[in-house]
Amino acid sequence: MSYLGGAFSTAERRLILLAALVLLPVFFLPVLPVWHMKLWAPQYREGLTMSIYTNTIRGDLDKINTLNHYVGMKAITPADFREFTYLPQALTGLGICALLAALLNRRWLALLGWLAFTGFAVVMFADYANWLYHYGHDLNPRAAIKLPTFTPPLIGYAKMANFKVLSFPGAGTILLGIAWALGPIVLLLERRAARRKKAAVS
Amino acid sequence: MKRAIPLLFVAALLIGLASQFSGCAGAKGGDAASKTYVKPGEYDKYYAFFSGGHSGQVYVYGIPSCRYLTTIPVFTPEPAKGYGYDEETKSRLGGFTWGDAHHPGLSETDGDYDGRWLFINDMPNARIARISLTSFTTEEIFGPIPNLSAAHACPFPTPNTEYVFAASRFSAPVPRSKASKIEDYAKDFNGIIAGVKVSSEGHMSLGFEILTPPFDWDLADAGKGPSHGWEFFSCYNSEMAFDSLEIKASQNEMDYVAAVDWRAAQKAVDEGKGDIIGGVPVLDPNKVKGIIYLMPTPKSPHGVDVNPTGEYICASGKLQAEVSVFSFKKMIDAIAAGKFDGEKGGIPVLKYEDVLEAKVPVGLGPLHTQFDDKGYAYTSLFLDSQIAKWKVGPPWNVADKVDIFYSVGHLMTSEGDTRHPTGEYLVSLNKIAKDRYLPMGPSHPEATQLIDLKSPKMEVLYDFPTYPEPHYAQMIRAEKLKPLKIYPLAENKNPWKIMTAEEARVERKGKRVDVYMLTIRTHFTPDIVRVAQGDTVYFHVTNLEQDQDITHGFGVLFSSKNTQVDPGETKTIRWVAEKVGVNPFYCTNFCSALHQEMQGYIQVSPAGTPIASLQRPDPKKLEEVIALLKK
């Protein structure tokens, strides 16, 4: 219990502050894409791109939707995603949490924030996977081309009909990952410092 | 043995002849081929715009591959692009179904092509079209220009595209409605030189007209550099013959090149010095001085071309073997000194010797001259079937000649009439193809040849046929053009545009029916239209596609109605329901995997049958369409 009530050394505080700084500007103003999906077809050798941000989807949506209608896929429309109404705020909240932990120098706050962050990430990945499943399975039975149901890849490469699809994280998610990884790093640094201290005492 | 000797002789002769022929074919096999080769998927270095002659169109080619890229319909209806069938382009054609397009004129800034527009004349109907080089479509047709009787010396833009010009080739009474006897040609007929203003947005309006004696105005070119502000026009028939021109118009030793000070002419009109003839102000050189001068030029000159520095005006007497090079400075000095040799129709005539800089013996039948970046000029020789390369400046000598096949008219060098020619290629636009291609019946294509200018000796690289009949062409470096790939829907300002399936409908008011229709792969919305016999139906078709090259066509069976709607465009087609029955319509431009299914029906009921004044697509169908179009 005394561990949770404790404070950080200067170096660790800086790292948590860094996590906050990475989180805050990026997700308060959603400018960096969190995920990309790139599609290639024989007549689209230059590729079609769909880029997901924390508050919208950009790229060749109209072209992709027009093509998808042949197989009866539901049109991908940013307005359909409730996630876009809370995702930026939620991430900003996590950033503020890290900022407060660093400023107030409270270990429990940092740990709580990190756990919330982890939980949130897991939920969001599951949510994304669910959407992908939905688009590949809720196909209009009256579509001109009847395809067996499918799930577009969450990450990585897949071949679907005459399309090749590559799904990969955007700059936003990479920064998010860095911020998240700073949690275990702080923990590791603390334990090493504690061990060194013990050795010095004995 | 005795018989073998003549046989050997014949064989030797044949071999000799064969080598002769292969020599005169010009191109040197593999090396030349590599100079025109553009790899699959790669682009040409230049766009070349060829006038389509009496086809009334413009043809676009890539240089150096000489690949045909497209046709831009201008003066003639063209179903492949749906031009002249929808209400807007139909009205642009002004009731004409042909034109004779001779001279493309790329817009210029500071005397160099700027890639904004291409102007082109319709010679017989005295019109000028402006083609946008972002959409590659005809945006404006100006004319018929009042008082003008054909516009051959046209358009030849000025260095900042301030003006394009037009001048009568077949002089006629002015105004054209004047009842005159043909025998009174010399006193009752007139030529007209017109200056057409071009606004910064490209719109054309008449600036001024100048009344001239009834010469036949032939070609033109704009002054540049020191001669900026002047336009030069060549003429034949200074004899003022009205019949048997072949003989009678070829008698004078000298015809003329006219120099027009277009700033002075515009000022005179702005000051109200013009007489109103045919509804427009016309300047009479008998009354208004200082706007136009004549330079005597030998033997029915054809081309008049200003060199890149703007110092020299090169006029080719087509019935002689020389190019007369006039000095702009000498011309200005003679005008300033008032050294005139009388007047023609009030226009002061300068003395040939006073303005002449050099006579270049290029060869027989010189027609047109263009330039390179190394101080050379290239003149087409119609009678010699050759191109002559000559030095602009002392010693004014011919440096090289190349044979072409056959009878070259215009030629173009790369950006060769600008202040900065690139000196890479020359295209010879030959009037006679004869035996150059696989035989295809008595109607022949035109013969065109690509010539390399990069080495000191000209080399023929490639032969390619063109559909009749390019006269002149211009080529521009491809990087200067930024053509649209689609029309952005957001910029579509057509009042009949609709954007959503909910707006798609049929409205009937009296006997007028307006169909607000959408196209997207792969359906029309609505695709069922109900009208009564005698209704006039306006189909306003908006193509919602925003993907490259997904054009939808709209063609109605058993009618003359077919148009093409490019991505983001709205077009209106007018169709009259003449007969009772059911009339299908369909997409005429292959668009996608289900293109064959892209169709609809018009149901025509007998006149007087009650028809809903507002029809919307079947709600169930609409739901599917809306789901697809959801934005």
pLDDT in tens, B33-81: 999 999 999 999 999 999 999 999 999 999 999 999 999 999 999 999 9
More confident call, B488 vs B6: B488
Q: What is the ipTM of this complex?
A: 0.79
Q: How far is B631 from chain A (nearest CA, A)?
A: 6
Q: Are B96 and B125 in contact (CB under 8 A)?
A: yes
pLDDT-wise least confident of A170-179, B504-513, B548-557: A170-179
pLDDT value at B1 more than 70: no
pLDDT above 70 covers a percentage of chain A that reads: 95
C-alpha to C-alpha distance for B379 and B362, rounded to whole angstroms: 7
Q: Which residues of A touch B628 (CB under 8 A)?
A: 65-66, 69, 75
Q: Which residues of B touch A69 (CB under 8 A)?
A: 521, 628
Helix axes A107-137, A83-104, angle to 10 degrees: 160
Q: Tell me, yes or no, if A63 comes closer than 8 A to chain B by beta carbon.
A: yes
Helix (H) or strand (E) holding B270: helix B262-270
Burial class, B605, CB count within 10 angstroms (exposed 0-12 / middle 13-18 / buried 19+): middle
Average pLDDT over residues B118-126: 98
Residue type, B588: T
Tell me the C-alpha distance between B86 and B445, whole Å.
30
Provide mean pLDDT across the span B597-624.
90
A142 vs B547: CB contact, 8 Å cut-off? no
**Rg of chain A taking only CA atoms, in angstroms:** 22
pLDDT in tens, B70-94: 999 999 999 999 999 999 999 999 9
DSSP one-letter code for B53 = B
**Which of helix, strand or coil describes residue B76?**
coil
- Nearest Cα neighbor of B533 from B609, B584, B601 is B609
- Residues B90 and A196: their CA atoms lie apart, in Å, by 89
Peptide bond into B134 cis (omega under 30): no
**Nearest CB partner across the interface for A77, out of B547, B624, B630:** B630
User: What is the average pLDDT across B379-398?
Assistant: 97
| pLDDT exceeds cutoff 90 at B396 | yes
Name the band, by pLDDT with cuts 50, 70 and 90, for residue B402. Answer: very high
Q: In the predicted model, is pLDDT for residue B562 greater than 70? A: yes
Q: pLDDT confidence of B3, banded at 50, 70, 90?
A: low
Mean pLDDT over each residue of chain A, to the nearest integer: 87
Query: Residue B16: CB partners within 8 Å, gap ≥ 6?
Result: none
CB contact under 8 A, A65 and B628: yes
The answer for A 71-90 residues in CB contact with B (under 8 A) is 74-75, 77
**Residue of B545, B547, B624, B626 to mutate, testing the A interface (most A Cβ within 10 Å of its Cβ):** B547
What amino acid is encoded at A146 in this protein? K
Residues in chain A with CB shorter than 8 Å from the CB of B594 are 70, 144
Q: What is the mean pLDDT of residues B443-451?
A: 96
CB contact under 8 A, A142 and B624: yes
Q: Which residues of A touch B546 (CB under 8 A)?
A: 62-63
Model pLDDT, residue A2: 61
Q: What DSSP designation does B6 have?
A: H
Mean pLDDT of chain B: 94
How far is it, in rounded angstroms, from Cα B381 to Cα B403?
10
Q: What is the pLDDT of residue B16?
A: 44
Cβ <8 Å between A66 and B521: yes
**What is the pLDDT averaged over residues B328-351?**
97
Give the model's pLDDT for residue B559: 95
A69 → closest Cβ in B545, B546, B628: B628
Determine contact: B568 vs chain A, CB below 8 A. Answer: no
Question: Which residue of chain B is at minimal alpha-carbon distance from A68?
Answer: B628
pLDDT band for position B290 (cuts 50, 70, 90): very high
pLDDT-based confidence at residue B28 (cuts at 50, 70, 90): low
CB-based contact, B630 to chain A, within 8 Å: yes
C-alpha distance from A13 to closest chain B C-alpha (Å): 46
- Does A26 score more than 80 pLDDT? no
pLDDT at B167: 98
Residue A93 tokens, joined: 């909240």
Q: pLDDT digits over B110-119, tens only?
A: 999 999 999 9
Amino acid in position B336: A
pLDDT category of residue B13 using cuts at 50, 70 and 90: very low
Note whether B624 contacts A: Cβ–Cβ < 8 A. Answer: yes
Q: Is the distance from CB of B154 to CB of B219 less than 8 angstroms?
A: no
Q: How far apart are CA B631 and CA B626, in angstroms?
A: 9
SS3 B333: helix
Identify which of A102, A103, A100, A87 has the alpha carbon closest to the alpha carbon of residue A28: A87
Choice among A79-83, A94-98, A165-169, B417-421 with the minimum mean pLDDT: A94-98
Nearest to B266 by CA among B333, B339, B343, B195: B195
Tokens for A124, please give them: 């969001």
What local confidence, expressed as pLDDT, does residue A25 receive? Answer: 62
CA distance B416 to B70: 23
Test the B interface: residue of A69, A76, A81, A138 with most B CBs within 10 Å: A69
3 state DSSP class of B32: helix
Secondary structure E strands in chain A: 35-41, 44-52, 57-59, 156-160, 163-169
Q: pLDDT tens digit string along B499-525?
A: 999 999 999 999 999 999 999 999 999
Whether B521 and A69 lie within 8 Å, measured CB to CB: yes
Q: How confident is the model at residue A28 (pLDDT cuts 50, 70, 90)?
A: low
Paired tokens of B576: 């009259």
Residue B357 has pLDDT above 60, yes or no: yes
The alpha carbon of residue A135 is apart from the nearest alpha carbon of chain B, in Å, by 14
Residues facing residue B57 across a β-bridge: B73
- Whether B583 has a pLDDT exceeding 80, the answer reads yes
Say if residues B409 and B430 touch (Cβ distance below 8 Å). Answer: yes
Name the pLDDT band for A197 (thresholds 50, 70, 90).
confident
**Contact, A99 vs A20, CB < 8 A?**
yes
Query: B342 — alpha (psi -120 to 50), left (phi > 0) or beta?
Result: left
Closest-CA residue to B429 (of B414, B415, B410): B410
Residue type, A142: R
Scanning B593-622 for CB atoms below 8 A from A yields 593-594, 597
Tell me what pLDDT residue A29 has: 60
As a whole number, mean pLDDT of residues B534-547 equals: 97
Distance CA B114, CA B497 (A): 32
Percentage of the residues of chain B whose pLDDT score is greater than 90: 91
Contact B521 A63 (CB under 8 A): no
pLDDT band per the 50, 70, 90 thresholds, residue B25: very low
Q: Lowest mean pLDDT: which of A20-34, A139-153, B299-313, B329-343?
A: A20-34
Q: Is A161 on the interface with B (CB under 8 A)?
A: no
- Give B12 or B354, the one with higher predicted confidence: B354
Alpha-carbon gap: A144 to the closest alpha carbon of chain B (Å) = 8
**What's the pLDDT band for B620 if we cut at 50, 70, 90?**
confident
- Assign A182 to helix, strand or coil: helix
Question: What Cα–Cα distance (Å) separates residue A12 from each residue in A79, B4, B207, B211, B394?
Answer: 41, 108, 79, 91, 83
Separation CA B509–CA B538 (nearest Å): 12
**Residue B20 — very low, low, confident or very high, per pLDDT cuts 50/70/90?**
very low
Please give the average per-residue pLDDT across A93-115, as a whole number.
85
User: Distance (Å, rounded) from C-alpha B247 to C-alpha B319?
Assistant: 12
- Structure letter (DSSP) for residue B501: G
Position B623 confidence tier, pLDDT thresholds 50, 70, 90: confident
Higher-confidence residue of A5 and B269: namely: B269
For residue B23, the model assigns a pLDDT of 41
